[in-house]
Amino acid sequence: DLPNNMIHQVAIKSLPQEWLWCETWCSDETKEMAKTIDLCNNPKTKEPKLKAAVRIVPEWNDYDNEIKELSKRMEEQKKDNHTKANLQSSAPKRDEL
């Protein structure tokens, strides 16, 4: 909305449709040329964005699974680091022996 309001103060150029493809106003034939895909809410279908993403972007599941796996590894690493820190802090110190 901001660019629309500033159009009289700043020279704004419109990008070609391929820079922001959206199912709501673009044809399926033009999706192949899209440089970005807007997973906008389609007022006709009310389909949730993540469900639309899986349908519109074929590789979405691969990306989603990769991120979930990375997140899981990071959580495990965080737990391991926390456990190691607890073991080190509970071990007797040299001068305590």
Helix and strand numbers (H, E) in the chain are 4, 2
pLDDT at residue 34 tops 80? yes
- Count how many domains the chain has: 1
* Confidence bin at 84 (pLDDT 50/70/90): confident
Which one is predicted more confidently, 57 or 13?
A: 57
Position 22: which residue type? C
CA distance 26 to 35: 13
Average pLDDT, the chain: 85
Pair of tokens at residue 54: 């899986």
| 88 found inside a domain | no
For residue 25, being part of any structural domain is answered with: yes
Residue-number span of the structural domain to which 58 is assigned: 14-83
Question: Does residue 94 lie in a domain region?
Answer: no
In a domain, 93, yes or no: no
For the ranges 36-40, 42-46, 74-78, 88-92, the maximum mean pLDDT occurs at: 74-78
